[in-house]
Amino acid sequence: MLGIPTRQVIIALLWSSFLSAGVACGLIFAWIDPTVLLDQLGLDSDNRLSGYSLAFFFLWLIGIANVLICLFFLRPVSHSTNN
């Protein structure tokens, strides 16, 4: 992609989505108790760490999807000369 090594693109993808998931978890759990999240999912609500972990990985996956969409739109567009 645009002359950037694939390894660097993958690291940027994972790292930026990791950081955004961490910030989002901090903001969400400043107001929401993770046991409420676990209760809504029908899981054992005795372990708060499970709620934090589930939310973090879910938000990380959303961040990865977001960055992948951005990378998709950064690709150069080939214009055809036929109208």
Q: What is the pLDDT of residues 38-81, one digit of tens each?
A: 788 787 767 778 788 888 999 999 999 998 998 888 877 777 66
Positions of E strands within the chain: none
| pTM reported for the whole predicted model | 0.76
Backbone angles phi, psi at 81, to 5 degrees: -85, -10
- Tokens representing 18 are 């990791």
Question: Is there a contact between 37 and 59 (Cβ–Cβ < 8 Å)?
Answer: no
